[in-house]
Structure 1
């Protein structure tokens, strides 16, 4: 969302301390470390979701803003330098001039920002965009902006002068302010101590400023998230004899620095020396150590160095960082406070500046805000759902680390030159341990759910059918959305109850659908060893209607559990609970063991089990596909998924029941007097897609449509719906380059191929004959589809699967949808509308074809991009 926010400034005010600062404290002498700091700002934004019970957002905003201002005034009495003004580079005049407070309305919803955090957007939530309007030395030391969103969410943005505080001091201030806002008489607020000059006295020497100009320049900023399990794996990889216990920060810092240096060396074409300046909180490294409530700047830095001949090896880089940290601590432990330590710091900064300013060296700066407990900032409406530093000026080779909300992971904001970032963000080792700018969703629980009863020994190995073997390693994905029960106001308690209910019934359903709790052994069998399905419980800090208003695939993907590899869980479930009380159930099911019809059967079984109705008869699934479609001692021709991969634009079109009736009437011919809903809609979509392709190419072109078919009812004898596994094959309808793109003719072509397909399967018996026939069909289809002078389209229909019957005890879904997890082109997925009469079509085409397709007059005559709410 890299666009300007619609911001309405409601109020600008100066907040003064609630009690005047005593005369003895009216002038604060800066410490030497304060003097080192350039006139820059520490920036932070905290994000709080709406309380789902509040509907009067405007009234609540006024009440909250008053509470923030009152408590800010109280906090400034303790943090009195923040209400002062910088006199020169030697002192702060603590004259209670006050801090700037801005109240703003943001005319969007908080989830729009949290979905894909963008620094350019986050900057607009700060009270001062430092890069655009530099705060001068005599301006306010502290500025605050409280931004209230249309959904009831809140962002608190802060700019704090680095002349009076480091990140640890900012943390102490926020904790104090939050405690004052909570107005708890039982909480003990520890007053800050501002006496840095007595520990780091000013020196009658030129002050060597930190070399910020070294990191200014054109840069690209990215956000990476290292989740706790990935950090555990990274730390294990970083272990060496010299560092048997690498920390989270050491491991992540080393990996980032390694990948950044690798990118620089690749772009330069030669090895190059590099220096890493790593910010260090020295409170605990001094002798004696200082308490956390010592305010001001108590940050210094180590300078780890890599020579041009050094190998970029993770263990070695971690060892280098640890060695420099240890030497740094030993150095400070040997010198006493006072002039000695100030001289030592001057010398360190001067030496570091000379080294870093060398033109034949790459300079990197890393700041860690980890372990500062910033997520404890509860102002009385809960802890923040997310928080972030904000980069207000363009700087390169800069890294800022901060804890994830659970305290175990790390978010890294990384700024590099455009050339280096292009290589850095594609580094395989980096991607192994991190995720690029994921959505801010609160994962509450990850659990493996096993079957409620053990799978019998004779069912412990399930042989795949030849149709299962054809399937690529992919997943069928579905999200079902349920509105809140308006009678429930305790959304958190209800979510816990619902989640427990879902887990219990999932366990029972897995006893019947036992292969879903197994693991893929190879492309021949499933080990049904009750490993279990993955279950994730998440909190989504927006309201359900935000998503239903205009569904987007990128948003729906966040309601799905993570994509997995072949040997991981066959079934993953994510139950996402919204602030309003709504719930989304996202399901990812391996296509190796199920088609969409099997998924529909599973959802009905799981829902019925959750309802716990003793009168309902649950029909057990039958997994015996290999006896009907035996495996063949032949090379298995895989479905050509790579043909549909590539840059694509995905759109959703809705064909309402009355429009489909008109479309079917238009499609009638002597050969097809009764075209179905699916035939008519498929034909129109294919016609418009082919027309777009021909227009863009400038010449007619052959086209093939692969139409997936449920063959259970087409076999002789027909199979019941409870036969689980893959019972799907495909027809290949073909249009020559000289064929007219006429609706009736395309419907006739599809019906003819469907009829021939059914007749073909009716003539052959089950067993080797049918498996050979399927192998031959797929092989012939693959050869034809892979022709370079042909357009290939794939259409899957989930119509008539009764997915809207998935009532878990709180009503049927208000909406459901497939989800595209990879970028595929020329793909169509059809699914019933909620009333069962219409069809929703998710259509993915190349950008050029989609531009013409979506403006096709005939298509728009029968479809619309209808919002759900």
Structure 2
């Protein structure tokens, strides 16, 4: 679907239901927060017309969303403040930015073949138009009486795991539940902030010329890829098989290289695969899951350029880099000397000069994305949007069937080559009309 027609009908700030205490008014960002790009992480949830036994007027529906959001902001108080210079959040209770809009179409017009670019229209702002806002929300009403809930959280204050925890706490409050673990703050004590003045990290952000597409891989195709990249194909030892995300990452990177990076152009360049790794469980002692903030690190692997199509060439470097995100690595992250920041500065310079070509994967697989029930049922579909990063892949579980959706962001000229790669298309499931049964 192109040129989706959406009209904003109201704008306001949703403030916390209770004022933030004075001693919590200055929320320090951690080092891991500081090195994040100033961009919103997007999620959009689709809800069809309410079931017959759950009938809410439009006013009742939005009141429930806004009231529960207000309650949530009392718990997640930094999300109602304003981020200041990658140093701290001024928790001034200004509130989250909240929009309501109307769409001149039906949910099915989007869901028959979800387009990441359409998703951006279901958010109040462009993803890089942050201006210190920690949280943005847009409720969009459709002609079929369905709605979407578009939410963006500033990456400077939260990672994907914390984002989903917030969303599910918010939805639990909307349902009137109180049996959940409240967030824990204080990551600046675990990862002390650094002096970042005069230095801007190069994240590969490109304002224009990025095309995003959604590719769906069903369980059978993923299983075939896991077998392809198995360490030992002559054994039934499943421990030696890569995970779903590892195998799919290797395959997508391989097809990107083959389709867009001719071998004659690869000299004097370093090609790296980046995986976001949640480090809560990799610390000693293990950190509670309800710690809020950016509590992950990037595993950097450099695959072999001799034959980039196998376990030894791709998966072994990836597995090794992920395994290296261990308690000793985390302790090094917590040190306030040069260390990791010096590495990031060097890598940023190399990226700026075109010496390093990075391909980044982040996964929401196994996260409870589809538990965002605000009192009228679970979403029939949940998705991301077009990011302003080149060479970025976001993995999200399909709602049913143990498949994975890959939301892939590439430069337009690279996507034109990648999306017609014959071997890629052998593994991609048809998406047109795939979600039609969800809303009929």
Matches within 5 A, 1:305-384: 305-307=302-304, 309-315=305-311, 316-329=313-326, 331-332=328-329, 335=331, 338-339=334-335, 343-384=338-379
Pair 74,408 (structure 1): closer, same or farther in 2 beyond 3 Å: same
- 1:118 CA drift (Å): 1.6
Query: What are the ranges of 5 or more consecutive residues in structure 2 without an aligned counterpart?
Result: 234-238
Partner of 1:409: 403
TM-score between the two structures when normalised by the length of structure 2: 0.91
**Contact 1:35–1:207 (CA<8 Å) still a contact in 2?**
no
Corresponding residue for residue 195 of structure 1: 186
Q: Which residue of 2 aligns with 1:125?
A: 122
> 1:654-686 deviations in whole A, cap 9, x for unaligned?
xxxxxxxxxxxxxxxxxxxxxxxxxxxxxxxxx
Residues 205-255 of structure 1: per-residue CA shift (max 9 Å, x gap): 658543124656523322101111211121111101497131111111111
Partner of 2:22: 23
Within 5 Å, give how 1:674-693 maps onto structure 2: none
* Partner residue, 1:180: 173
CA distance in 2, matches of 1:415, 1:8: 27
2:74 corresponds to which of 54, 74, 77: 77
Gaps of 5+ in 1: 442-538, 543-577, 579-869
In structure 2, distance between residues paired with 1:44 and 1:304: 28
Write the distance in 2 (CA, Å) between the matches of 1:388 and 1:167.
Answer: 13
8 Å CA contact 1:287–1:336 kept in 2: the answer is no
User: Structure 1 residues 8 and 215 mapped into 2: Cα distance closer, same or farther (>3 Å)?
Assistant: closer
Offset at 1:3?
Answer: 1.3
Residue aligning to 1:14 = 13
> What do the CA deviations read for 1:356-412 (whole angstroms, capped 9, x no partner)?
44524422222222222111111111111111111253x322211111113722111
**Residues 278 and 355 (structure 1), Cα distance of their counterparts in 2 relative to 1, 3 Å cut:** farther
> 1:548-592: per-residue Cα shift (whole Å, max 9, x none)?
xxxxxxxxxxxxxxxxxxxxxxxxxxxxxx3xxxxxxxxxxxxxx
CA deviation after TM superposition for structure 1 residue 427, in Å:
2.4
- Pairing of 1:722-761 with structure 2 (within 5 A): none
Structure 1 residues 143-169: Cα deviation after superposition (integer angstroms, max 9, x where no partner): 111111111111000121111111111
Aligned partners of 1:85 and 1:92 also within 8 Å: yes
| Residue in structure 2 matched with residue 155 of structure 1 by the alignment | 148
- Contact 1:304/1:324 (CA < 8 Å) preserved in 2? yes
Flag the structure with more relative contact order, 1 or 2, with Cα contacts below 8 A and sequence separation at least 6: 2
Residue pair 1:215, 1:398 contacting (<8 A) in 2 also = no
Provide the residue aligned with 1:105 in structure 2.
Answer: 102
Cα distance, 1:136 vs structure 2: 1.5
What is the Cα-based RMSD across aligned positions, in Å?
2.5
CA gap of 1:216–1:88, structure 2 versus 1, over 3 A, is: closer
- Paired residues, number: 433
Distance 1:111 1:160 in 2: 26
Cα drift, residue 257 of structure 1 = 0.6
In structure 1, C-alpha distance between the alignment counterparts of 2:158 and 2:334, rounded to whole Å: 20
2:236 matched to which residue of 1?
Answer: none
1:73-96 deviation per Cα after TM superposition (whole angstroms, max 9, x unaligned):
111110000000123321111111
**CA shift in 2, pair 1:106/1:128, >3 Å:** same
The residue correspondences of 1:508-657 to structure 2 (distance < 5 A) are 540-542=437-439, 578=440
Q: Tell me, in whole angstroms, the C-alpha distance in 1 between the residues paired with 2:333 and 2:411.
A: 40
Conserved 8 A contact 2:203-2:348: no
- The whole-number CA distance in structure 2 between the counterparts of 1:273 and 1:213 is 15
Query: Is this contact kept in 2: 1:371–1:407, CA < 8 A?
Result: no
What displacement does 1:330 show? 5.8
Q: Residues 260 and 178 of structure 1: is their aligned pair in 2 closer, same or farther, counting only changes over 3 Å?
A: same
- Does the 8 Å CA contact 1:110/1:149 hold for their aligned counterparts? yes
Are the equivalent residues in 2 in contact too, given 1:12–1:100 (CA < 8 A)? yes
Alpha carbons 2:41, 2:127 under 8 Å: kept: no
DSSP 3-state at the match of 1:412:
strand
In structure 2, what is the equivalent of residue 297 of structure 1? 294
Deviation by residue 1:800-842 (Cα, 9 ceiling, x = unmatched):
xxxxxxxxxxxxxxxxxxxxxxxxxxxxxxxxxxxxxxxxxxx
- From 249, 257, 260, give the equivalent of 2:256: 260
Residue in 1 that maps onto 2:227: 236
Alpha-carbon distance in 2 for matches of 1:43, 1:366: 15
Asked if 1:245 is matched to 2:241, the reply is yes
Mapped to 1, the partners of 2:198 and 2:431 lie a distance apart of 39
Whether the 8 Å CA contact 1:83–1:95 is kept in 2: the answer is yes
- Is the counterpart of residue 48 in structure 1 residue 41 in structure 2? no
Cα distance 1:302–1:351, how it changes in 2: closer, same or farther (>3 A)? farther
Structure 1 416/88 Cα, relative in aligned 2: closer, same or farther at 3 Å? closer
Work out which of the residue numbers 57, 62, 65 in structure 1 matches 2:62: 65
Q: Which residue of structure 2 aligns with residue 3 of structure 1?
A: 3
Greater Rg by CA: 1
Cα pair 1:36 1:207 within 8 Å, conserved? no
Match 2:381 to one of 381, 386, 402 = 386
Say whether the 8 Å CA contact 1:275–1:303 is kept in structure 2. yes
Task: Go from structure 1 to structure 2 and tell me whether the alpha carbon gap of 1:205 and 1:303 turns closer, same or farther (over 3 Å shift).
Answer: same
Give yes or no for contact 1:146–1:154 (8 Å, CA) kept in 2: yes
CA distance 1:193–1:343, shift in 2 (3 Å): farther
Q: Deviations over 1:269-321 (max 9, x none)?
A: 666641122222211112112111111111221211135x4211132311221
Give the whole-Å Cα distance in 2 for the aligned partners of 1:418 and 1:336: 38
Provide the C-alpha distance between the structure 2 equivalents of 1:331 and 1:214, rounded to a whole number of angstroms.
Answer: 30
Kindly state the Cα deviation for residue 123 of structure 1 after the two structures are TM-superposed.
Answer: 1.1
SS of the aligned residue for 1:399 comes to: strand
Offset of residue 119 of structure 1: 2.2
1:440 Cα offset (Å): 4.6
Deviation sequence 1:475-508 (CA, Å, 0-9, x none): xxxxxxxxxxxxxxxxxxxxxxxxxxxxxxxxxx
1:367 is paired with a residue of what secondary structure?
strand
State the distance in 2 between where 1:177 and 1:355 align.
Answer: 41
For 1:75 and 1:327, how far apart are their aligned partners in 2?
Answer: 36
**Pairwise mapping of residues 489-500 of structure 1 onto structure 2 (< 5 A)?**
none
**Following the alignment from structure 2 to structure 1, what is the Cα–Cα distance between the partners of residues 127 and 94?**
21
Deviates more, 1:267-276 or 1:252-261: 267-276
Contact 1:225 1:438 in 2 (8 A): no
